[in-house]
Chain A
Amino acid sequence: MESRKTQIWVGLFVVLGVLALSFIALRAASGSAATAGETYTLYAKFDNIGSLKVRSPVKVGGVVVGRVSQISLTGEYYEPTVEMEISADYSQFSETSSLSVLTSGLLGEQYLGLQPGFIDDTVGMLEDGDTISDTKSALVLEQLIGQFLFSQGND
C-alpha cells in the first residue's frame, strides 16, 4: 500500500509539471503567430534603416502581417536591403505599396509600416521575391537637427 501511495504522488507530481509547462506555453509565451503559417518573401531597399532589427514586425495600419527576416548591404553601392516574411494570408498588396521605417511611441522600437497602394489594371500584385521600390527611410534625429541648423543659417 505504501508504494501505491508513492506512485499516486509521483503521478501527481508529473501532472503538475506538465500543467506548469502548458500554463507557461499558453499564457506567458507565444510562437510568433503572424508568421507561423505559410509566408512569402519581399525585399525593400532603404537609404537608412535606423535601428530596425531582424524579427521587427511589419505592420499594416498597426496590424502585424509579417516580420523582418534578414538585413544586409547589397549591390554595387552597398544599399541596406531588408528581407521580410509576410504571412500568405495577406498576399494581395499591389506594386504601388510603400514601406517606411516607423517608431512605436517616442522611445519605442522601430518597425516597418506597409501602406497598401492603389489597384489598377496597369499595376500588378507583389509576389514572392519582389522588391518594394517606394520606401521611406528612418528619421535620424541628428540629421534632422543638422538640416534644421543649416536652414536657419541660410536666412
Chain B
Amino acid sequence: MEMLRRLGKKSLDQVAGIGYALAMLMNALIGKPNPRKSLPLFIHQMYVVGVLSLLIIIVSGLFIGMVLGLQGYTILVDYGAEQSLGPMVALSLLRELGPVVTALLFAGRAGSALTAEIGLMKATEQLSSLEMMAVDPLRRVVAPRFWAGFVSMPLLALIFSAVGIYGGYLVGSGWLGVDEGAFWSVMQSSVDWYDDLLNGVIKSIVFAFVVTWIALYKGYRAVPTSAGISAATTSTVVTASLTILGLDFILTALMFGG
C-alpha cells in the first residue's frame, strides 16, 4: 500500500512539474511585447548565453571535425573510397553531431549558468522583491533569457558544423592528402539543402527550446538554499542531456528513418 502511495505521489509530482513548467513558459512569453524595454535585456542575455559560449563551440567543433576526418580516412582508405571523406564529415556533422553536441555543450555551459543564476535570485529573494515593485519576474527575468537561448543555440549549432567541416577539410585535404576538388565536389553532390541542412537546423531549434526551458524551469523551481541550487544545477544538466538524446532519436527516426 505504501509503495502504491509513493508511486502515486511521484507521478502526481511529475505531472504537476510539467504543468508548472508549461505555465511558467506561457506567462513569460505571452503578453504585450514591449520592445523598447525588453530589447536591451535580450541583447545582454544574447551576450551572456551566446557570445560567451562561442569559444567552447568553435574549439570543440574544430576538434570533432578533425577527429572525424582522421577516423573516417583510416576506414575509407581500406576500400579506396577516401574521396567520400567529405560527405561523411559533412553529413555526420550536419545531421547529428552539430545539433546534438552543441545542445549538450550548451546545456553544460549556458544552461547550468541560467539555472544557478535564477536559483540564486530566488534564494536571495530578488524575485520576490521584483514582484513587490510590481515587476513581473517572469517577463523581466525569464523571458529574455528564454529568447536568448532559443535564438543563439541554432546559430551556435551552425557555427559548430561549419567549423567542423573546415576541421575535417584541414585534416583530410591538408594533412592526409585527399584531393581538394574531390573533397568539396563529392560533398556538394551528396549533401542536400533540404534533407540535411534544413533538418539539422530544425533539430537544433527543437533542442534550443527544450534545453533553455528545462534550465529556466529548474532554476525557477529550485529549493532556495545552497544545496537546493546545486541540486537544481545538476538536475538541469542531467535532464537536459537525457532529453536531448531521447528527442534526437525520435527526430532522427521521423526525418531520416522513413
Residues of A within 8 A of B (CB): 3, 6-7, 9-10, 12-14, 16-17, 19-21, 23-25, 27-32
Instruction: Assess whether B54 is in contact with A16, with CB atoms less than 8 Å apart.
Output: yes
Q: How far is it, in angstroms, between the C-alpha of A7 and the C-alpha of B196 when the chains are bound?
A: 32
B153-193, CB under 8 A of A: which get 1 and which 0? 01110110111010000000000000000001001110111
Instruction: Rank and list the top 8 A-B pairs by shortest CB-CB distance, nearest first.
Output: A17-B155, A20-B162, A20-B158, A6-B47, A29-B191, A20-B159, A10-B46, A30-B188
Whether the Cβ atoms of A24 and B50 lie closer than 8 Å is no
Q: How far is the CB of B109 from chain A (nearest CB, A)?
A: 14
**Is there contact, CB below 8 Å, between A29 and B51?**
no
Q: Is the CB of A24 within 8 A of B188?
A: no
Interface 1/0s, chain B 127-161, versus A by CB < 8 A? 00000000000000000000000001011101101
Q: At the interface, yes or no: B10 with Cβ under 8 Å from chain A?
A: no
User: Is A9 a contact of B191 with CB atoms below 8 Å?
Assistant: no
- Chain A interface mostly helix, strand, loop or mixed? helix
**A9 and chain B: residue at smallest CB distance:** B51
Q: Are B158 and A17 in contact (CB under 8 A)?
A: yes
Complex Cα–Cα for A21 and B160 (A)? 10
**A residues less than 8 Å from B165 (CB atoms):** 23-24, 27-28
Report the Cα distance A7→B43, complex, angstroms. 7
Q: Specify which chain A residues have a CB less than 8 angstroms from the CB of B191 in the assembled complex.
A: 28-30
**A17 shortest CB reach to chain B, Å:** 3
Can you list 9 A-B contacts (CB < 8 A)?
A7-B43, A9-B47, A10-B46, A21-B162, A28-B187, A28-B191, A29-B94, A31-B192, A32-B192
Query: Does B40 count as interface, using CB distance less than 8 angstroms?
Result: yes
Residues on B with beta carbons closer than 8 Å to the beta carbon of A3: 40, 43-44
Q: Among the listed A9, A21, A29, A30, which residue makes an inter-chain contact with B158, where contact means beta carbons less than 8 Å apart?
A: A21
- Cβ contact of B43, chosen from A6, A19, A20, A32, cutoff 8 A: A6
Partner of A17, one of B159, B184, B192: B159
B interface residues (Cβ-Cβ under 8 A, vs A): 40, 43-44, 46-47, 50-51, 54, 90, 94, 152, 154-156, 158-159, 161-163, 165, 184, 187-189, 191-194, 196-197
Question: With A13-B155, A29-B188, A29-B192 known to touch, is A24 a contact of B162 (CB < 8 Å)?
Answer: yes
How many angstroms between the C-alpha atoms of A77 and B128 in the bound complex?
77
A111 to B181, CA, bound (A): 23
CA distance A30 to B152 in the complex (A): 25
Q: How far is the CB of A16 from chain B (nearest CB, A)?
A: 6
B155 CB contacts on chain A under 8 angstroms: 13-14, 16-17, 20
- Once the chains bind, are A30 and B46 in contact (CB under 8 Å)? no
Asked if residues A10 and B192 are in contact (CB atoms below 8 Å), the reply is no
Min distance, Cβ B187 to any Cβ of chain A, angstroms: 5
Report how far A130 CA is from B100 CA in the complex, Å.
47
A14 vs B50: C-alpha distance when bound (angstroms): 9
Instruction: Closest B residue to A21 by CB, please name it.
Output: B158
B48 to chain A, nearest CB (A): 9
List B contacts of A14 (CB < 8 A): 155
Given A27-B188, A28-B165, A28-B191, residue A10 in contact with residue B158 (CB < 8 A): no
Provide the bound-state CA to CA distance between A29 and B90, in Å.
Answer: 9
B44 contacts across to A, CB distance below 8 A: 3, 6
Docked pose: A32 CA to B190 CA in angstroms: 10
Contacts A3-B40, A17-B158, A24-B158; A30 near B189 (Cβ below 8 A): yes
**Chain B nearest CB: distance from A145 CB in Å?**
25
Judge whether B188 and A28 touch: CB under 8 Å: yes
Q: How far is the CB of B38 from chain A (nearest CB, A)?
A: 14
Instruction: Say how far B145's CB is from chain A's closest CB, in angstroms.
Output: 14
Q: Which residues of B contact A12 (CB under 8 A)?
A: 51
* Contact B159–A16 (Cβ < 8 Å): yes
